[in-house]
Amino acid sequence: MRRRDILKAIALGSAAAVIRPFDTFDVLAQTGSTAASGNADLVAALGGEPAEMLHQALIELGGIERFVKSGNQVVIKPNIGWDNTPEEAGNANPELVGSLVRLCLDAGATKVNVLDHTCDQWSACYKNSGIEAAVKDAGGEMLPAHDQRAYQEIELPRGKVLKKAKVHRAILESDAWFNVPVLKSHGGAGITVSMKNLMGIVWDRGYFHWHDLHQCIADICTLPKAPTLNIVDAYRVLVHGGPRGGRGKDVVVAKGLFASTDIVAVDTAAARFFGQFRNMPLENIGYLRKGEELPVGTTDLDSLKIKRLKV
């Protein structure tokens, strides 16, 4: 299976290289032929299945080997906050998480742990999101994160409001970790993407809500053990009524994916993408500007080398 996946990835990657000249929306990007000379800062993929888009995006970013070395302990932190089905789009896409687990193992990771400090009852979230099954199928392991003893307090000297936080040990002890949020609307924060997803590695979320949510979200992004790569799942987008999916909440099958090491940039890109479905000015998403001020990244997409892929 794994060999086949690699072959598929290579085939799709070369296919993408062929298609690229026809991508008329590629106006703002660097010149089309730079893929070989340097890695993109931010990759946006559109129109494919989650696994395909992930494979291609990683190729543009320099391959999974750039992030995962042989013998590494890897942690993946998808959004598994809700007891939702994959179709309800409250959680990251299970197919995406599963194929990322497989890629990490193929790159030589000794262990891939997947965890989230869920909002709904954790085992129901793990199970009904489809992520548990996908991860186990791929050879990874689900790690519970509902027990305070699994968390360790760390200092956040660069944080403005959030000066310390209890972060899950598996993240702190990992060699590489992937932040895999799902793009969706959020009643309090506008939208939730990579930065907001970090609330799921923290024990006490109530503090965030009580002490300026946007500033705390920006502050947690200053943690020394920053995510190795942020991969935003925008395959199904919960446009209204998020972040919990469910009754009365329609989902747009947008088939998008964004990836970058710059957590603010990838969220800015995702926010712009989201703006196509619903009016969402960037100034409404307070943590983006606050993140840029700290700084933990940039909202200036023009300063980045962006790769746009149509799969």
Partner 1 sequence: MASGKLLRLWRLLRLGRRLCGAAVFILLTLLFVATGDFLPVWAHFTARLQLVPALLAGFWLTLALLLLATVLFGRVYCSFICPLGILQDLLARLYSWRKKREFHYRPSSRAIRLGVVIFFLGALIFGNSVLVTLLEPYSLYGIIAMHYCKQGWIVLNNGLSQYVPLASFFGLYPLPHSNLALSSLLIATFLAVFFSVFVWLRGRDYCGCICPVGTVLGWLGRFALLRIRFDAVRCVHCRRCEQACKTSCVDSGRQLIDYSRCVTCFNCLPVCEHQALAYRLPRLIEKAGNSTLILALKGQVKKPSGPPLLDAKRRQFVGLHLAAVAGMGGLVLAQAKAGIAGSTVATGGQEAGQRAITPPGSRSRAHFSRRCTACQLCVASCPTRVLRPATGEYGFLHVLQPRMDFRHGYCNYDCVVCTQVCPSGAILPLTIQEKHETQAGIVQFVQHLCVVESKKQSCGACAEHCPSLAVKMVSYGKVPGLTIPVITPDLCVGCGACEHACPVVPDKAIYVQGLLVHQKARILPRGQELHQQVEGFGF
Q: Which is nearer to partner 1, 7 or 253 (CB)?
A: 253
Output the CA–CA distances (angstroms, integers) from residue 165 to 97, 193, 264, in the order listed: 26, 20, 20
Contacting residues for 4 by C-beta, under 8 A, at least 6 apart: none
Q: Which is nearer to partner 1, 64 or 254 (CB)?
A: 254
Q: Which is nearer to partner 1, 147 or 293 (CB)?
A: 147
**Region binding partner 1 by CB under 8 A among candidate stretches 61-69, 72-80, 94-102, 238-246:** 238-246
Among 6, 108, 207, 225, binds partner 1 (CB under 8 A): 207
Task: Evaluate whether 294 touches 221 at the Cβ level (below 8 Å).
Answer: yes
Asked if 244 interacts with partner 1 (CB under 8 A), we say yes
Give CA–CA dist 265/148, Å, rounded.
32
Q: Which is nearer to partner 1, 55 or 255 (CB)?
A: 255
Asked if 246 interacts with partner 1 (CB under 8 A), we say yes
**Region binding partner 1 by CB under 8 A among candidate stretches 1-9, 98-106, 172-180, 184-192:** 184-192
Show contacts with partner 1 in window 52-81 (CB under 8 A).
none
Asked if 284 interacts with partner 1 (CB under 8 A), we say yes
Q: Which is nearer to partner 1, 6 or 133 (CB)?
A: 133
Please, what sign has the CA dihedral across residues 171, 175, 303, 269? Answer: negative
Task: Evaluate whether 273 touches 25 at the Cβ level (below 8 Å).
Answer: no
DSSP string of 187-235? TTTEEE-HHHHGGGGBS--HHHHHS-HHHHHHHHTT-SS--SEEEEEEE
Asked if 224 interacts with partner 1 (CB under 8 A), we say no
Q: Which is nearer to partner 1, 67 or 287 (CB)?
A: 287
What 84-87 contacts at long range (C-beta under 8 Å, 24+ apart), as own/partner pairs, is: 84/125, 84/128, 84/129, 84/244, 84/245, 84/246, 85/128, 85/129, 85/130, 85/245, 86/129, 86/130, 86/236, 87/236, 87/251
Asked if 28 interacts with partner 1 (CB under 8 A), we say yes
39, two tokens = 């890695």
Show contacts with partner 1 in window 92-151 (CB under 8 A).
119-121, 123-124, 128, 141, 143-144, 146-147, 149-150
Among 66, 186, 225, 305, binds partner 1 (CB under 8 A): 186
Give CA–CA dist 13/150, Å, rounded.
39
18, two tokens = 């062929």
β-pair type (190-192, 182-186): antiparallel
CB of 250 to partner 1, least distance (A): 5
Give CA–CA dist 114/51, Å, rounded.
17
Asked if 189 interacts with partner 1 (CB under 8 A), we say yes
Asked if 153 interacts with partner 1 (CB under 8 A), we say no
Asked if 275 interacts with partner 1 (CB under 8 A), we say yes
Among 243, 261, 291, 311, binds partner 1 (CB under 8 A): 243
Asked if 30 interacts with partner 1 (CB under 8 A), we say no
Q: What are the residues binding partner 1 (CB under 8 A)?
A: 25, 28, 44, 46-47, 83, 87-88, 119-121, 123-124, 128, 141, 143-144, 146-147, 149-150, 186-190, 205-207, 209-210, 212-214, 236, 241-256, 268-269, 272-277, 281, 283-286, 301, 308
